[in-house]
Structures are given as structure tokens and as C-alpha cells.
Amino acid sequence: MKVKVLCRNPDDYVRETTRDIQRVPRNYDPTLHPFEVPREYTRAMNATKLERVFAKPFVAALDGHRDAVNCMAKHPTSLSTLLSGSCDGEVKVWNLPTKKCVRTLQAHEGFVRGMCARFCGTSFFTVGDDKTIKQWKMEAPGYGEEEEPLNMILGKTVYTGIDHHQKEGVFATCGQQVDIWDEQRSSPIRSFTWGVDSVSCVRFNPVETELLASCASDRSIILYDMREATPLQKVIMNMRSNTLCWNPMEAYIFTCANEDYHLYTYDMRQLSMPIVMHSDHVSAVLDVDYSPTGKEFVSASFDKTIRIFPEKKSHSRSVYHTKRMQHVICVKWSLDNKYIMTGSDEMNIRLWKANASEKLGLLTTREKQAQNYSQKLKQKFQHHPQIRRITRHRHLPREIYSQRKELHVMKEARRRKPEVQLMCSERSGTALSPSKKKLSNVPSLLVSFFLKCKVLLAHHRS
Amino acid sequence: MAKRKAKASRVRSESSRRRSKAAKNSTQVMTYDDGEDELLEGDDDDAVISASEEDEGGSDDERKHRKLLEAISALGGKKRRKLAERSEASVQVSEFAVSAEGAGEKISLSDLLGAMDQTPSAVKSTKKQLQNLESCKDTLELPLSRQETEKIQRKVAFEKTSKDVSQWESIVKQNQRAEQLVFPLNQEPSGPKPVEHVVVGWKPRTPLEMEVFSLLHKNMQPINDPLLTPMEEASLKAMSLEEAKIRRAELQKIRALQSYYEAKAKRERKIKSKKYHKVLKKGKRKELLKEFEEMRNKDPAAALEELKKMELARMEERMSLKHQNSGKWAKSKAIMAKYDDEARKAMQQQLEMNKELTQKLALPPESEEEQEPEETEVVPDFANDAQAAADPANPWMMGKLSAEPAEKDCGGDDKESAVENTQNEEEREPEGDEEEENEEDVLLREFDEKRKSRRPDDDALAPPFQVDKEETEGEKKEEPVCVSSEDEHEGEVVSEFKSLFQKLLANGHESTVNKGTGQDAKESDAEEPALLDEGLSRVRSLEDVDELLGQGLVREHAEDVAEVKEKIPTTAEETKNERTDKRKKKKILDLNDVLTRDAKVISVPLAPTAIGEEEGEGDQRMLVQEAFAGDDVVADFLKDKKKRVEAGKPKVVDLTLPGWGEWGGVGLKPSRYKRRRFRIKVAPPPPRKDRNLPNVIISDARESSVAMHQVSQLPFSFEKPEQFECSIRTPTGHTWNTQRTVQKLTAPKVVTQLGSIIEPITRDSLDKSKAQTRGKKAPDIVLASAGAEGQGPRKGRRKAGENNARNLRNPRRRAIKRTK
């Protein structure tokens, strides 16, 4: 005889702890629970309000550098470690949970121009104004030992940037040219030049690991393949790009931070036209870093703010600033997607939450569920005017606010100009040519716009 | 690939060459000069390529140069250390022991061919060829310039890499489309892996392992539960078959018997004949009596005990209210008793039972009664539930009232019942009828008294209450109708509200959408709107948020008002007409009349009898009444509605001008003709939706307070207003959905874990996705339970449990398992 047993998963009816509320079977008859839309709307409204109230992104400031922080590097295997190099040649290793500097070393004379950690996390490389590349051990030297680099390579010219290969013992430096180095050799295994006198940034593609991209001072972005003898492709923009960053989840996408206040996301197969132009900054964008999920990126700007952009959106979803934060020179997104680190002119490194209102730490299941639900509600009612207004409201310092306004006015004027001209001209019958095509690379409009801005800024400062 | 490899090897050779060079000029180990090296490299390359070709041309110059150098060094007088130079022997020294003196001079083809002419042995055809060659003056084309070659190289290389990179497109798109992405990607589930997974990936290497595996494979040995091979299991099954058969037969027998008895009992229970039951009872009683007699003869102790039992039963009966007609059932019967003889009878029976049980046993009992069988036949179980607080409105409970109808109504009935009773009792008790009746009365009276003693205030209450009831009865008759119709209307109103609301929404969308598309056409050229409203104000608390909303309100209000004006009355007319037709059928009373009629004021004496709580309630009601003494909410509402109706009616436009074509002056009215001509009547608006709903005001106007919260433009990515509405209408919360659904609905798109490093996507995932599309390759070792591979640990566990249970049931099999 067979006994059939109804089998249920205990997770469905057993509460997690004795303190938890007992599960009660519910009657889901819709007539018993009327007004679902208004009720959910109210919940969504509350959730949005709370989100704004709890949006406190600033976590900590790491104080200790004696000059502006010029570059930073993430530790590839340890989330709690951060490396930073300053303009006085000092490199500091930070422990983020304790917010303490665990190690300081005088790496270079003059600026530390760039740094990167080896993929295994055992050592890191720095380049400086003293024309050297130095490799350092990640661990601090033992008691009584001298702080000495593992390796040092003396070059002829200044290196302005460095990046390490994702899997092999190969790194790339940039300066007058882009060099590919083997860690074991004292000379580069390959160097690339393409009619440029200086390259400011070079980055390995984290996915297609043999590819590189660099930003040069002749306003170009150049792509390289480590295996090829020549560079691959070049695109010249209207303004110089400061840095670029590859998307860690999409092999062919990269974003560059430009001097013309914008960021441009390119598909490397189609360099003639950027996919998206990200604009919100009111001054040159100095650094950019993708979140490890590849869904968002953060940009640091000369206008003393950092902004977080969704990957393919032209406007930022969030802006962070503090009164004391000056020009933000470098920015990094932590490898667990939860924090953002910024290094700025006033010698501080700041730690921010990537999601301003997110509750960090361990969450119980019910908390998590509630969070998910409120997120969903916010998303569901995002188009409702009141909710939209609350979610979108951000505070900006007065300077940036006024600059934004100014820029907006200028942009509007520029947009209107051809229309007005046409209106005033005699042959008003001719149709307006669609101006959308002008976006290619950077519209020439932007240059004039930029110049105007410069003048205005100068005026503003004086 | 091959190309790339070749390239790699070239790189390697190059680097090795460079290394050797570095070894040569050892002064430059650390200090490294790129530019120079580049130059050197170029030279080197040239040397490699062209050394053999143009050494003749260069050697003359070289010689001169060397001489010059020597002369210079001789001039200086000092002996300079000669630089160590690498030189090829073949250039300096001729192989054929000819001095290399004239090596530099250019040799033309004709010089060489001169000798050819002189040799007669040369073939004519070759001569001709040579002549042709001589006459042909074309030179080879120059190789492309470096820039151009590089350009081509770059182009080729770029195409190749972009092709390589495009491989990722599929996985990128897949990730974009994914419902949920959990980072880090390709996580392995934590915890121990199930055995199947481990084993599947494992390959036997040593011969011993091979042997073992082949054995296991042959036997189809499962890895985990059940531990028996199919063969073994089959044999076990065979063994247990007979047992199983026997057991099944037994069970079948039992079941058949059971069902037979059940059927029998059911049949007997269903027999309606009273006589039959009586006979049955009688028989039972006789049997019992017989038994008792026997018992008395055989062992008096047992009989005594029986007696005691009966005594106990009496005591219990006296204590309980079981048969005192105080239960739910009794109450319901009491209500019915007025009209239903059966009910009355049943009640009486109950009382009889009570009497019977409480009677003292003077004599050695002849009738031995067990109440249960009878009870179950007559009264359902719930009838005997004791009730603490009886309803004061229940006449049956009021003692006298309850007694009255039974006595008054019909003597005949009573008699009949009495006859019945006597018939019943004649058999067990040889007592007189009158006595019994008296006793009954006495009992009833007692009962009443008991009630009264329990509620001493009831007497005082009863008369006025009764009067009240009668007064209100007239109304009650009317009210139910009214209420029901109202209820219906309420239902309708709700539904109507819903439909109205939706229509309103839809209309709003349509009008705005049209407008929106117009705007969109204009604005499509413009950029994507900003995601943030950046301002100077900070939001720190909830108050700030509200303030923020206030600001927004002022701004958006104006727009909304403008929109409202554009709204057109809806097409609700037709549907409304239909509905009104329906309603006409339903409607019996004019609801307006019902509502507006003055309520009949009933003076109810305050019931002091009520329990404390009720008193409090009454107080509160009084308080509320007092507080709202002046308010006539209903009248206000009606007035308000009337006003709205008036406002909604179209006004007659009067365009008459005095004096035109007529006499003018004070007190003169324009003529009838003129009035008819110039007073323009506007077509009546569609009938109001609430005209049949007296307690409802339906306003078609869009209210700005609501509009503030409504979406005025169809958001992007929605094509129709319906889509958007649908997305809003489906609730996501746990109030409306089961937990599982909520979890599914609210699952976030990107999940990251605090403290886990997210690596960039790797080639493995690309390969994996490719493999998935291609179909999985079968593992090398397939074991018997490979079918259970996909099962989670839970399922496996359950299976194990089942197995255990089966084993417990079958001890023999368990033993076998143990021996194995």
C-alpha cells in the first residue's frame, strides 16, 4: 500500500527565528483588499520619501596625504585595501574598514603619475615624474627592513600612466609612446607610436585582455592590440580626453572623460560616432571608472563633484559633493559594487556609498524583501509627477547650480540660433537640416561652447 | 590562429635578438633609451635585408671613409683604441682570391652578356630571351611607403580585432535581456556538492579504478540513495509480492465489511417510521432490562454500580442545562415553535428528558436509560451547547412568553403530544398522566424562576421592550426592502465608480497623449531629459520632502488646470442609458423619497438592563448625538447635490435687446416673438450619472488635487495608455499576491553581494554560452543515477526519507540491506 504524503518546503511556513512573526495564511480575494492602486501609490510615495531622507552617501574621509591625491588603485583580491599616490610622490596603502593608513612609502620624487596593482595582488607598480617605473611588494617590509622597490626601471621620459594586464605578467605604460613591458625584462617588448607627443592614459581591456586604449594629448583616443605591430584605430575628438575606462562586462564598450565637460561612451568597433554622450558636469571631467557590474560608471570632475551615470543614459542618476571636497582628480568604484572612492585636490580620499540610500550590512530576509518591494514600487510609479519630483531632487552647491543654469541658457540659445536665423532670412522656405548628425564625435558647436564657458569661468573666478 | 602564432614567434625572435643586443652593449642595461633603440633597430633591419644586395655600392665609400679616418687619427698623433667592429668576411675578402679592389664598380647586364655572344655553345633561344630582357626597360614598382603599409596593416588588424570582439555581443545582449543578474557571475553554489556532481566529473585512471568502475557500471550501481541496484530492488519486490497479496486481501475484506456495516447503519437511520424506531427502542430496552436482571442475579455488586451510575447521571443532569432548552438549537426551535408543531414537540421532549433524568429513583429502577442513543436520534449535537448569555429579545427565553404559546395555541396538539408521552412512558413507568402534566408545569415554572433569578432586571424591562418591538415592526417591514435595494445600488455604484475612473483616466491620457505626441514631434530632436532636478535646497527630513512637493504643486498646477479645460465629456451616455433601463426594473422605491423622508423617531427607554459595556456604548452614542445635534448631514449632502445639478444645467442665453423694433422704456417687456427669437436654449447636457443615486455625487470634472498625482503624459517605452494603466493596475505587494509571486515580481534586476569581489567577465562564460547553444556534451562516466543529476539536494533527501519509511514497513528488507 502506498501512502501519499503532501510535502511542503518548511521554508514556506516555518519562521526564521522565534522572534519572527508567525506566518498567517491569507485570503487573497481581491474584493477583500480593495484600492490596490491608491494603496500601492501611497507606499511608493513613502518609499521615495524615505529614500531621499536616508540618502546619505558619504561614509568616511581618509586623511593623511600631504599633497593632492593624484592616482588610486584598487586591490584586485582584497576589498579592504586601497592604494593611493599623491603629488609629492608618496604612496599610501589604506585599510578601508578601519579607515587607517597601514603603510606609507616615498615612491617617487615629484608626482606619482599612475599606479596599478598586479592581477594577483602581490605587488603593485607606480610611475612617477622621476621617469621611473617601480614595482613594490604589497606587504609592508618586516621590522628593520628598508622600504625598497622590488624592481625599478629607469626610462628616458616621464611616464604618465600605467596599467596591468588582467592575467599575465605584462603591463603597459604611457608617456611619449605606449610601451608594453614584460615584468621580467627591463626593456619594453613593444612600443606603439602614432604621431603623438604624449599619451595621458592607457588602459587594458579587462575582458579582451590583449586590447588597450589610450588617450593622447592630440585629442585622440587610440586602440592597440598587444599582439599587433601597429596601433589599430584612432579617433580624434574636439577636446582632449583625460582618461578612459573599459566596461568590465561588455568587451567592446569604453567610456572616456573629456575636457569638454562630457563623457563619451564608444563602441570600439564603431569609433566614428559615440553611442552616448553623458553630460551633466559643469567642468572638465578628470576621471571615470566603471562599476564592476558594468551597469553604471562614476565620473570625477574639476567642478568638485562626482556623478554616477547609468551605462547608456545621457544624464546622471546621482551627484555627490561636499563642501570641503575640491577638484576630484581620481575616482574608483569598489569591486563589490557598494562603494566609491574619490581622491581630490585637498589631500583627502573619500569613501561614498554607491547607492546613496542603501542600507549596508547584513539584512534579514524580511528586510531584504521589504527593500525589494519598495524598489519595485518606486520603479512602478516612477512616472507619477510627485514621486518623480522627489526622486529627482538633488541639492547642488550654488556655484555649480548657477553654472549649470548658464550652460543651459547657452545651449538653448545655440539650439535656437539656426531657427531664428532661418526665420529672419529671406528664404524661409528652405527646410532645416536635421542637426542630429552633428553629434559625431564632438559637435563643433561644443568647442565654441567650451571656449565661451572658459571665458565665463575665468570671469567668474576673477 | 596560425597567423597569430607566427606573429608571436616573430615577437619572440625579435625580443631574443634584442636581448642579445642588450648583452652586447652592457653599459646600457638599466638606462634605457627608446628613441635610440628604435633607430638602431631600424638600421639593423636594413642591414639584415639589404646587406647582400648593395654591398658593392657601399664598399667603395666605406673604404674611402676608413682611409680618411686613419688619416685623421694619424694627424692626432695619439694612438686611439680601435673600435671593435663586426665585419662580414665575405665583403672584404673575395672567395675567389680576387682582390676586392674593383668590387664597388657597377656591372651592367651588357658586360656580362658580351661574353655570351662570344660563346657559340649558348642556345639561341636563351640569347633571344636575354635580348628581350635587355630591351625591356621597365623597373619594378617601389614598395609602398611605410605610412601606407602601416595603414593597411592597421586596417587589417582592426577588422580582425573587431571581429574577435563581436563574439561577445551575444553574451552582452543576453545579460542585458536577463531578468535578473546575480553578481559575481558564474558563482558556484556554496556548501558540499552532491555526490553525483563530483563523480560525474571524475575519470578512472589506474587499472584498479577502471575495473571497479566497470563493475559498478555493469551493475548499474546508483551512487547515493537508494543504495540498491535495480536488480536487487527487483528481486526484493518479487519476494514481497506474496505478502503484499495476502495483506491486500485482508484489507479488502476489512474494507468491505466496514462499508457493509456503514451502509446498514445508514439505512436504519434513514427509516422514518416512528413505529419502527419505537419497536427498536423497546427491544433494546428489553434487552437491557434482561441484562440487568441477570446481573442482579449473578453479581449484585455490578448491578449496584449500574445504579450508582444512574444516580450520577441524574446529578449531572441537574447540574447541567443540557436539556433545559437553553442551547442554540433550542433557541432556534423556540422561534419556530410559534408556527411549527414539530419544533414545539421537540422542545417538549427535551424538557421531558430533563425531567426524566432528574427524577429521583425511589424504586429499584426498571427502566435503565442511557440518554445518548436517543439523543443522537432526536437532537443534533450543537443543540445541547450551553449558552451563557441568552438573548433578551428571545421570547422563549423570557420564561412566561415561552410557556404561553405552547399552552395557548392548541389544546389538541398538546393532547396529542401528551398521548404520545404517555404512550412512551407507560412502558417504563406506571404513573398517571395527570401527575406527569402537573410535573411538567411545575418544571416549567421552576425553569422560569431560574431564569428570573439569573436576571433579576428582566421583569422590569420586559413590557416596554415588547411595546417597542411592536412599534418598530411596522418599520421593519419596510426597511429590509429599502436596505436591499440600497445595497444593490451600492454595489453598482462601486462598479460604476471603477468604470468611470478608468474612463476618466483613459480620456485624460488620450487628450494628453495627442498633445504629447505633438510636442514630442517637436522635441524629438531635443536631447534626453535630465534624470535629476538639481536645486539649491537640501532634503534632510520628511518635512523637507513635503515642502518640495508643495513647490512642485504650484508649478504643475497651472499646467493641469489647462489640461482639465481641454477635457471633453465622455462617451458614457450609451452605457448609462443601458444601465438606467436595468435599474428601472430593479427599482421599486424612489430612493430620494426614502432618504428625504423624516425618520420616525422612536422613543426607546434606555435599557438599564444592559451590561456595563453596552451601557458605555449607549453613553457614547448619546455623546455623539449631542455633539452633532445641529448637523443634518443628509440634508446638507442633498443640498450640495442639488446645487451641483443646478450648476450643471445649461443656461438659457438671453440675447434680447430692448427697444429694437418695439417700444422701449421702463417696465416694458420684450415681446413674445422677440423672446422666442433671441433666447437661445442650449441643448441639454447628457443626463447626470448620479441622477438615480441619491446618496452619491459624481463629478466629471477633473479635480486638480487628484490631477497632481496623475501622470499627464504617456511615459516613454509605453505605446498605448492601456499598457501603462495595466502596468500600474497590477498590484505587486504581498497584500494582493502570494509570497512566491511577490518574490518573483519584486526580484531586483541586479543582485550584488556585500563583500564579494566581482571579476570582469571571462572567456569561460563566453564558451559556456556557446556550449549551451550547441548542446551539452555527455560526461565520460554515466552512472545509474545520472538521471538524478539535476535533482537538488532536497529532492534527494526526500527520496531517502521515503526509502527509510518503506524499509521500516518491511523489516525483512531492512535486514537484507544490512547484510549487504
DSSP designation for B754 = T
Question: Rounded to the nearest 10 degrees, how much is the dihedral formed by the CA atoms of A446, A451, A452, A458?
Answer: 140
Cell numbers representing residue B783 in the block:
552512472
Do residue A395 and residue B755 have CB atoms under 8 angstroms apart?
no
What are the pLDDT digits (tens) for B596-628? 444 444 444 444 444 444 455 678 888 887 877
- Cell 439523543 sits at which residue? B375
User: What is the model's pLDDT at position B15?
Assistant: 46
8 Å CB contact between B795 and B787 = no
Q: Which helix (H) or strand (E) holds B518?
A: helix B458-523
Tell if the CB–CB gap between A208 and B164 is shorter than 8 Å. Answer: yes
**Predicted local confidence at residue A128, as pLDDT:** 94
Closest Cβ opposite residue B528 in set A232, A314, A369: A314
Contact A342, A60 (CB under 8 A): no
What pLDDT is stored for residue B67 in this prediction? 84
| Residues written for chain B | 820
The predicted pLDDT at position B763 comes to: 87
Task: Using an 8 Å CB-CB cutoff, list chain A residues near B248.
Answer: 1
**Residues in B touching A39 (Cβ below 8 Å):** 733, 735
Q: Over 70: is that where the pLDDT of A148 sits?
A: yes
Contact A313, A271 (CB under 8 A): no
The helix/strand/coil state of B379 is coil
Determine the Cα–Cα distance for residues B718 and B151; give it in Å rounded to an integer. 47
Q: Residue B617: helix, strand or coil by DSSP?
A: helix
HSE-up of residue B40 (Cα within 13 Å, Cβ side): 11
A383 has a chain B CB within 8 A of its CB: yes
Mean pLDDT, residues B338-354:
83
Average pLDDT over residues A137-148: 89
List of residues 6+ apart from B435 with CB closer than 8 A? none
Contact A9 B794 (CB under 8 A): yes
Q: Which three cell numbers stand for residue B633?
A: 448631514
Residue A251: CB atoms within 10 A of its CB come to 27
Shortest distance, CA B786 to any CA of chain A (angstroms)? 24
- Give the span between the Cα atoms of A173 and A200, in whole angstroms: 10
Q: Do A393 and B8 touch (CB under 8 A)?
A: no
Axis crossing angle, helix B341-358 with helix B411-428, rounded to the nearest 10? 40
Output A20 or A434, whichever has higher pLDDT: A20
A293 part of contact set with chain B, CB < 8 Å: yes
Element holding A78 (H helix, E strand): none
Query: Least CA distance to A74: which residue of chain B?
Result: B757
ipTM, 2 dp: 0.86
Q: Which residue has the higher pLDDT, B721 or B470?
A: B721
- Which residue in A has a C-alpha nearest to residue B523's C-alpha? A415
Using CA of residue A303, residue A305, residue A311, residue A317, what is the dihedral sign? negative
DSSP string, A182-238: ETT-SSEEEEE-SS-S-EEEEEE-SSSTTEEEEEETTSEEEEEETTSSS--EEEE-S
Q: What contacts A358, CB < 8 A, 6 or more positions away?
A: A338
Alpha-carbon distance A341 to B772, whole Å? Answer: 38
Pairwise CB contact (< 8 Å): B157 & A232: yes
Of residues B757 and B553, the one with the higher pLDDT is B757
- Predicted pLDDT of residue B677: 84
Beta bridge partners of A74: A82
| Alpha-carbon dihedral B142, B146, B148, B153, rounded to 10 degrees | 120
Cβ B798–A7 below 8 Å, yes or no?
yes
Interface contact A317, partner B, CB < 8 A? yes
Report angle CA B182, B184, B187 to the nearest 5 degrees: 90
**Residue in the block written with cell 491569507:** A26
Cβ contact A248–B760 (<8 Å): yes
Cα–Cα dist A164/B402, whole Å = 101
Q: Is the peptide bond before B373 cis (omega within 30 degrees of 0)?
A: no
* A26 pLDDT higher than 60: yes
Q: What is the pLDDT of residues A187-227, one digit of tens each?
A: 999 999 988 779 999 999 999 999 999 999 999 999 999 99
Q: What is residue A130's predicted lDDT score, i.e. its pLDDT? A: 93
Q: How far is A212 from chain B (nearest CA, A)?
A: 11
Do A208 and B165 count as a contact with CB atoms less than 8 A apart? yes
**CA of B700, closest CA in chain A: separation in Å?**
19
Residue B112 CA to residue B127 CA, distance in Å, equals 12
Strand B750-751 with B181-182, pairing: parallel
CB contact (8 A) between residue A337 and residue B729? no
Three-class SS of residue A69? Answer: strand
Task: Answer with the residue of higher pLDDT: B33 or B706.
Answer: B706
Nearest partner of A104 among A93, A114, A96, judged by Cα: A93
Helices B274-298 and B300-319: crossing angle, nearest 10°? 130
- A225 vs B161, B532, B794: nearest CB: B161
Indicate the residue of A3, A190, A393 with minimum beta-carbon distance to B539.
A393
Q: What is the mean pLDDT of chain A?
A: 90
Q: Look at residues A286, A369, A376, A296 and name the one whose alpha carbon lies nearest to residue A325.
A: A286
Q: Residue B448 — pLDDT band, cuts 50, 70, 90?
A: low
How is residue B650 annotated by DSSP? P
* From B31, B168, B530, residue closest to A251, measured CB to CB: B168
Best of B26, B30, B162 to substitute, by most chain A Cβ atoms within 10 angstroms, is B162
pLDDT of B814 higher than 50: no
Nearest to A394 among B533, B734, B798 (CB): B533
* Residues B167 and B174: beta-carbon distance below 8 Å: no
pLDDT of residue B535: 83
Distance, in Å, from the CA atom of B747 to the CA atom of A373, rounded to the nearest integer, reads: 8
**Which residue's entry shows cell 422704456?**
B665
Asked if the model's pLDDT at residue A417 lies above 70, the reply is yes
Q: Do A154 and B794 touch (CB under 8 A)?
A: no
User: How far is B591 from B485, CA to CA, in rounded Å?
Assistant: 9
Nearest to B532 among A319, A373, A434 (CB): A319
Chain Cα centroid distance, residue B195: 34
Using alpha carbons only, give the angle A276, A281, A283 rounded to the nearest 5 degrees.
120
Q: Chain A residue with minimal CA distance to B17?
A: A189
Q: Which helix (H) or strand (E) holds B596?
A: helix B591-596
Decide if A155 and B32 are in contact by the 8 Å CB cutoff: yes
Chain B hits for A357, Cβ within 8 Å: none
Q: Write out pLDDT tens, residues A105-134.
A: 999 999 999 999 999 999 999 999 999 999
> Which H or E run includes B651?
none
Q: What is the DSSP string of B14-51?
A: HHHHHHHHHHHSGGGSSS--HHHHHHHHHHHHHHHHHT
Q: Which residues of B touch A225 (CB under 8 A)?
A: 157, 161
CB A342 within 8 A of CB A325: yes
Lowest mean pLDDT of A410-424, B521-535, B789-803, name the range.
B789-803
Q: Stretch A8-20: mean pLDDT, rounded?
A: 77
Alpha-carbon separation of residue B304 from B296, B317, B359, B361 (angstroms): 8, 20, 18, 13
User: CB–CB of A269 and B756 under 8 A?
Assistant: no
Give the minimum alpha-carbon distance from B293 to chain A in angstroms, rounded to a whole number. 49
Phi–psi pair at A332, nearest 5 degrees? -140, 145
pLDDT above 90 covers a percentage of chain B that reads 10
Across chain B, what does the average pLDDT equal? 66
More reliable by pLDDT, A8 or A238: A238
Q: Do B154 and A292 touch (CB under 8 A)?
A: no
Q: How many CB pairs under 8 A join A and B?
A: 261
- CA–CA separation, B454 and B609 (whole Å): 12
Q: A372–B549: do the CB atoms touch at under 8 Å?
A: no
* Inter-chain CB proximity B534 and A404 less than 8 Å: yes
- Copy the grid coordinates of residue B635: 440634508
Give residue B538's Cα distance to chain centre: 37
Whole-number Å distance between alpha carbons of A182 and A171: 7
What backbone torsions phi and psi does residue B122 show, to the nearest 5 degrees? -65, 140
Of A166-180, A392-406, B191-205, which range is least confident? B191-205
Nearest to B708 among A186, A386, A395 (CB): A386
φ and ψ at residue B726, rounded to 5 degrees: -60, -45
- Read off the pLDDT band of A460 (50, 70, 90): low
**With an 8 Å Cβ cutoff, are B715 and A280 in contact?**
no
Whether the CB-CB separation of A433 and A251 falls below 8 Å is answered with no
Considering the entire predicted model, what is its pTM?
0.56
The values of phi and psi at residue A255, to 5°, are -125, 135
Task: Identify the pLDDT of residue B117.
Answer: 66
| A393 → chain B, closest CA residue | B533
Closest CA to A149 of A132, A166, A133, A135: A135
pLDDT of B493 reads: 44
Q: Which pLDDT belongs to residue A327? A: 95
Measure the CA–CA gap between A317 and A299, rounded to whole angstroms: 12
Best A20, A230, A378 residue to mutate vs chain B (most B CBs within 10 Å): A230
Got the DSSP string for A402-461?
HHHHHHHHHHHHHHHHHHHHHHHSS-TTSPPPPGGGGGSSS-HHHHHHHHHHHHHHHHHH
Q: Do B712 and A154 touch (CB under 8 A)?
A: no
Question: Which residue from B532, B549, B734 is facing A394, i.e. has the nearest CB?
Answer: B532
Q: Which residues in chain B have Cβ-Cβ distances shorter than 8 Å to A380?
A: 727-728, 732
Task: Assign 3-state DSSP to chain B and report helix, strand, coil percentages, each to 5.
Answer: 65, 0, 35
Quick check: B115 and B130 in contact, CB under 8 A?
Answer: no
Q: For residue A37, which of B613, B729, B29 has the smallest C-alpha distance?
A: B729
Residue A387, φ and ψ in degrees, nearest 5:
-65, -40
